[in-house]
Amino acid sequence: MVQLLTAVCAIGLMSLCASVWGETEPSEPDEIHQFDFWLGDWDLAWGNGSGTNSITRIFGGSVIKEDFLDAKTGFAGGSMSMWRPTEKQWRQVWMDNQGGYLEFVGGWDGEQMVLTLDNPEDTGKPDKVTRMRWHDIEADAFVWTYESSGDDGATWTTAWEIDYTRRR
């Protein structure tokens, strides 16, 4: 009797799942592809510096992993980015070999991706805003800009700008 009840419950659970999801798994949100332009291997150039960046999807495609290297100084770091459907925004965590740890949030804004430092109090100034922008996006090139604002976003100062060129 217990085995029969167990079998009936299992069949009922499978039927419930099939009716909720259909015969396939739930579809992924369109936003998960907003960073597709960034995927690949890149040569980087800024001022008198250069480096490389390799961007891949991991964990079944739901996480974007970044591996950054400054060729001249040996500065290395990386990030993990993920679309959070419940928050309707991207989250990114950056870590590097100099002890850097930053958390960003944001998303697509017009023709650019914009992520802002999640905790402005970390800057020591509550009105200071820090953001990253991926802009001027083409198939094999774009510009990444790291900016800050001391007047709560009214004006911006560029701290770092990197030209990305897809490696062939």
Overall pTM surpassing 0.85 (yes/no)? no
CATH number of the domain that residue 83 is part of: 2.40.128.20
Residue among 83, 87, 81 at smallest CA distance from 102: 81
Query: Domain for residue 19, yes or no?
Result: no
Angle at 36 between CA 82 and CA 55, to 5 degrees: 70
Rounded (10°) CA dihedral 118, 120, 124, 130 = 90
Residue-wise pLDDT for 56-82, tens only, equals 999 988 999 999 999 899 999 999 999
Q: What pLDDT score does 28 carry?
A: 76
Query: Domain for residue 78, yes or no?
Result: yes
Contacts of 161 (CB under 8 A, 6+ apart): 46, 143, 144, 145, 146
Find out whether 152 and 127 touch, Cβ atoms under 8 Å: yes
pLDDT band per the 50, 70, 90 thresholds, residue 6 = very low
Residue type, 94: W
Query: Domain for residue 110, yes or no?
Result: yes
Contacts of 67 (CB under 8 A, 6+ apart): 53, 54, 55, 76, 78
pLDDT band per the 50, 70, 90 thresholds, residue 95 = very high
pLDDT band per the 50, 70, 90 thresholds, residue 161 = very high
Residue among 77, 124, 133 at smallest CA distance from 100: 77
Residue-wise pLDDT for 99-157, tens only, equals 999 999 999 999 999 999 976 555 566 668 899 999 999 999 999 999 999 888 899 99
Domain count, the chain: 1
Query: Domain for residue 40, yes or no?
Result: yes
Residue-wise pLDDT for 34-59, tens only, equals 999 999 999 999 999 999 999 999 99
Which tokens go with 167?
């490696």
